[in-house]
Structure 1
């Protein structure tokens, strides 16, 4: 009887996954807007069908494609940093360079008018460095939150296999992490390709107990090597990052301000942005400043970007050159403008105006989503 029940559970699980994949309402919204994106691509002076990269959901990649991406990320973790070692003594690897840039600009790229465009360029810069410095021929994958919302830990992203982004942390006694109760992890990641990954920078605002060791410098740039920790659970994903939550975000947000504020919301009503970060939780993923230190960050932010692109495509003509919000979270409410410049310094060759970063098929960008 137990074997029969196990088989029935597997079949039921497969049926659920099949319905999610075949009846994805978020993908339906993408399809509705695709004609407008194709029209924009046809007018682009920098992007063509011949050089267009297609970003795919992690679960849809072939094993060889997953391994190629993983190998490229591991390459960054063993390549030397390009930052000044006096100013950034804790940045030992090329991967650390991305964490340092994020730390440096955290208070001017969250809750701000440039949140979406800055992270679009940041994620693209990561994809570009994987391709130009680590021999990667693919594109940046994304994590469709809704597809795995019921059980993210068992998803192909976090199942701990050699084609995953590694699994949960070791189960240890620990307290709540940020906006979530304690989950089934909390300790060092012990499975998958990143089980030996070291976080070198931060913490600055850790949201996990027991807390990681304090950084020797108050700015978080001191050398502070420690294991990658996670506390993955479905507490937030099953409430706030479901397919229906993503659809609601896209369909009910009539302005860019409403869209980005709803997306970033944290607290009583969680948005998909914080919801994704704290689904991973741990250290450094749960740290507002150092969250790119967890390699799953990039799949999460690729989905942030995909969701923004879908929102834009619902009325592309009026949703590209729009911006709303301040230039900084702290110290004043000066409004951001489309002429503001995004500079990623050592991880990207060129600064761009926000007006040049609003289309995924123009400016420096030439990619789409499957």
Structure 2
């Protein structure tokens, strides 16, 4: 009997530590991280492409795992790749505008065409149903222009908001030849600005950008909704609509205010996991409430400056495209990372049609979106439902 007692005790102890389903202890689950979300979103995107997971959309045979483009984080590009990207941006800054002569006097370049389109579209593409969708379309058009008009062989990079707590000294803004240029020159103490109830203090820059690939860049359009200290004396535009020619330097006031405290990996993860619908997702991206700043706003105002802090003219800041590339990636992760939610999230579309009118008509997935002269050939006026997925409609890309 004593031997049986010992055997029974050993068996009981083995059961205690085994994974037997009959035993009433749950296996510890690994906590979800932002990296997990990225990995799962990419894996699921590839499953959609190979036909083992359905998102409910129709695809052309031209987009597959073998042909899909992979957009990468700017700091993950090689130095040669970063330099090639800034070369292409400088190329499009030097190409002539395609807008009607005289209608927009401040549009001096092909790059400025993109700025004018954003200025015209701002009321209908912010805080509306197509906020995410139109900007996805817009970034793709810019990427296409770099590739078709400036012989760029790569894809649009993004800035992972959570990657650089010290954004000022990051590969994006450190001012070396492989960066997107330096911070604005330091100008000493200067006033900050309120973003909702959040006070953003003046940063360590504020002056003209004089280092890196975009040193001494001239801005022509705007300002239309300036946010920098009026004592800096930034010239007003000669036209009330901001389309006049107003030559001045590119200013930045890059700081770590948001990246160190409000745009950490957990902050991004919390925003993704707290939003069950596209309406809640994009609303909280644009307005997080009184407790903390929204991620979209934090990204723009981590760069700040002129024109970076002007909602209308912000695309005139060359890093706008990295910031909005991340915004698109953030949406892509939210839509794709859960297999069981992927199909429903892909086609969600909620919100109004005019930022300035809270009672504006509700947006419909069939509403046409417009890019005017910056649209790729034959691709202007596409409906929003063409922008539901990065691997359907006119698109064929994922994020790594």
TM-score by length of 2: 0.84
Instruction: State the shift of 1:94 in Å.
Output: 0.6
Q: Residue by residue, what CA displacement relative to the aligned partner does 1:185-232 show, whole Å, maximum 9, x if unpaired? A: 111011110012111100000110125211111111111111000001
Match of 2:84 among 53, 61, 68: 68
Task: Output one character per residue of 1:269-327: Cα deviation in whole Å (capped at 9) or x when no partner.
Answer: 21110000000000000001001010010000000000000000022111111111110
8 A contact 1:184–1:232 mirrored in 2:
yes
Shift of 1:177: 3.8
Structure 1 runs (4+) deviating above 4 angstroms are none
Structure 1 position 239, deviation (Å): 2.3
SS of equivalent to 1:341: coil
Question: C-alpha distance in 2, partners of 1:109/1:273?
Answer: 14
Of residues 310, 325, 328 in structure 1, which corresponds to 2:354?
Answer: 328
Q: What does residue 130 of structure 2 align with? A: 114
Q: How does 1:146-161 map to 2 (within 5 A)?
A: 146-148=162-164, 150-161=165-176
Pairing partner for 2:40 from 27, 32, 46:
32
Paired position in structure 1 for 2:226: 206
Decide whether aligned partners of structure 1 residues 211 and 336 sit closer, same or farther in structure 2, where only a CA change above 3 A counts. Answer: farther
Matches of 1:88 and 1:74, distance apart in 2:
21
Larger Rg: 2
- CA RMSD, aligned part only? 1.5
Matched ranges for 1:81-100 at <5 A: 81-100=97-116
Distance 1:329 1:58 in 2: 31
More helix by share: 1
Partner of residue 183 from structure 1, selected from 203, 225, 231: 203
How far 1:24 sits from its partner (Å)? Answer: 10
CA distance in 1 between partners of 2:246 and 2:323 (Å):
25
1:43-82 superposed Cα distances (whole Å, 9 cap, x missing partner): 5314123331111111111011001000000001110000
Distance (whole Å) between structure 2 residues aligned to residue 118 and residue 255 of structure 1: 18
Partner in structure 1 of residue 215 of structure 2: 195
In the alignment, which residue of structure 2 is the partner of 1:253?
275
- Give structure 1 stretches of 5+ with no counterpart: 1-22
Q: Distance in 1 between matches of 2:314 and 2:66?
A: 34
Q: Distance in 2 between matches of 1:329 and 1:338?
A: 17
Whether the aligned pair in 2 keeps the contact of 1:76 and 1:134 (CA below 8 Å) is: yes
Check 1:252–1:24 CA distance in 2 against 1; reply closer, same or farther (3 A cut): closer
- Counterpart CA distance in 2 for 1:33 and 1:195 is 37
| Secondary structure in structure 2 of the residue aligned to 1:54 | strand
Structure 2 partner of 1:17: none
The corresponding residue for 2:239 is 217
Q: Does 1:354 align with 2:384?
A: yes
Q: Distance in 2 between matches of 1:329 and 1:261?
A: 12
Question: How many Å separate the matches in 2 of 1:142 and 1:100?
Answer: 22
Paired with 1:231 and 1:266, the residues of 2 have a C-alpha distance of 23
Aligned-partner Cα distance in 1 for 2:304–2:349: 30
User: Is the contact between residue 216 and residue 222 of structure 1 (CA under 8 Å) also seen in structure 2?
Assistant: yes
Measured in 2, the distance between the counterparts of 1:266 and 1:246 equals: 12
Give the TM-score normalised by structure 1: 0.91
Decide whether the 8 Å contact of 1:53 with 1:367 is kept in 2. Answer: yes
Give distance in 2, aligned partners of 1:59 and 1:282.
22
Q: Does 2:259 align with 1:232?
A: no
Cross-structure match for 2:367: 340
Identify if the C-alpha distance between structure 1 residues 246 and 266 changes in structure 2 by more than 3 Å, giving closer, same or farther: closer
Aligned equivalents of 2:225 and 2:43: distance in 1? 43
What's the CA shift for 1:178? 4.5
Q: CA deviation at 1:25?
A: 3.0
**Equivalence for 2:7:** none
Supply the distance in 1 between the matched residues of 2:108 and 2:49 (Cα, whole angstroms). Answer: 39
CA distance in 1: counterparts of 2:32 and 2:206, whole angstroms = 32
Query: Which 10-residue stretch deviates more, 235-244 or 162-171?
Result: 235-244
Is 1:289 the counterpart of 2:315? The answer is no
Q: Where does residue 170 of structure 1 map in the other structure? A: 185
Which residue of structure 2 aligns with residue 127 of structure 1? Answer: 143
